[in-house]
């Protein structure tokens, strides 16, 4: 049986009290299984809350950040570096199409993957098409076509599987995820594919019950 990664990307949503409510609601309904790993990626400001809550309640949930600075500690106002992130999280999303819109090109993405690995963080590298180069340090790649993100219009499972298969022919990766308009109804169509090892969920992760349906149905 393959292990699935179910990753929540909360983007720039949830304030402190909303995050607490999310955690209370999710943890009251969630029971861990050995074949699914849950990775939650909240904003930097919420990482401490998530970490402490998970520890206190002994939940089988892992944490990721949504970005990492290219710079080390230093006089870089507003930057959050890998040394700071690793106190809270083990993963970091890199190359998301929303960050690429802020000007993060392929060379920045590649550099960030290397930097994250150097800090012992596992990059979750988002690619928007099959053609994107995959840096050597990557072990988790999420195929997320831009047309499918936040639109309610997912790629077909067959196309996603085709891309995952082609990537795996080239590279020996641990996990290939699909992301883009995943919900509780369609998640299994993707996770049942041979070469797809999980999903990256945006919008539907914000409601704990919807996210739980994805976890259960995956």
Binding ligand PGA by CB under 6 A: which of 104, 144, 155, 189?
A: 144
- Least distance to ligand PGA, CB of residue 205, Å: 7
Q: Find the Cα–Cα–Cα–Cα dihedral 121, 112, 176, 206, rounded to 10°.
A: 80
Site string for ligand PGA, 146-175 (x = CB under 6 A): ---xx-------------------------
Is the CB of residue 75 less than 8 Å from the CB of residue 91?
Answer: no
Q: Interface with ligand PGA includes 140 (CB under 6 A)?
A: no
Between 54 and 201, CB nearer to ligand PGA: 201
Pick from 70, 203, 210, 216: which binds ligand PGA (CB under 6 A)?
Answer: 203
Number of residues that bind ligand PGA (CB under 6 A): 13
Q: Is 64 in the site for ligand PGA (CB under 6 A)?
A: no
Q: Please, what's the b/e burial string for 18-30 (b: 16 or more CB within 10 A of its CB; e: otherwise)?
A: ebeebbeebeeeb
In DSSP terms, which residues pair with 94 in a beta bridge? 125
Assess contact for 24 and 54: CB atoms under 8 A.
no
Chain residue whose CB lies nearest ligand PGA: 202
Q: Does the active-site annotation cover 96?
A: yes
Binding status of residue 189 toward ligand PGA by CB under 6 A: no
For 107, residues 6+ apart whose C-beta sits below 8 A from its C-beta are: none
Instruction: Please select the residue that binds ligand PGA; options are 181, 191, 195, 197, rule is CB under 6 A.
Output: 181
Burial class (CB in 10 A: 0-12, 13-18, 19+), 34: exposed
Binding-site ranges for ligand PGA (CB under 6 A) = 9, 144, 149-150, 179-182, 200-204
């Amino acid at each position: 049986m393959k292990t699935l990664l179910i990753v929540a990307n909360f983007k720039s949503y949830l304030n402190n009290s909303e995050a607490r409510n999310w955690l209370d609601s999710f943890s009251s309904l969630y029971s861990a299984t050995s074949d699914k790993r849950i990775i939650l990626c909240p904003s930097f400001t919420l990482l401490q809350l998530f970490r402490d809550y998970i520890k206190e309640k002994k939940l089988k949930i892992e944490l990721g950040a949504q970005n990492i600075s290219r710079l080390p500690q230093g006089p870089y106002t507003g930057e959050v570096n890998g040394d700071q992130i690793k106190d809270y999280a083990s993963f970091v999303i890199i190359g998301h199409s929303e960050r690429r819109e802020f000007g993060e090109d392929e060379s920045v993405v590649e550099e960030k993957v290397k930097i994250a690995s150097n800090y012992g963080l596992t990059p979750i590298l988002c690619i928007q098409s099959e053609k994107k180069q995959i840096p050597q340090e990557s072990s988790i790649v999420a195929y997320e076509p831009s047309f499918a993100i936040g639109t309610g219009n997912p790629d077909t499972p067959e196309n996603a599987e085709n891309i995952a298969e082609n990537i795996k022919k080239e590279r020996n990766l641990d996990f290939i995820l699909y992301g883009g308009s995943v919900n509780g109804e369609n998640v299994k169509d993707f996770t049942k594919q041979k070469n797809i090892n999980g999903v990256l969920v945006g919008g539907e992760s914000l409601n704990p019950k919807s996210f739980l349906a994805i976890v259960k149905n995956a």
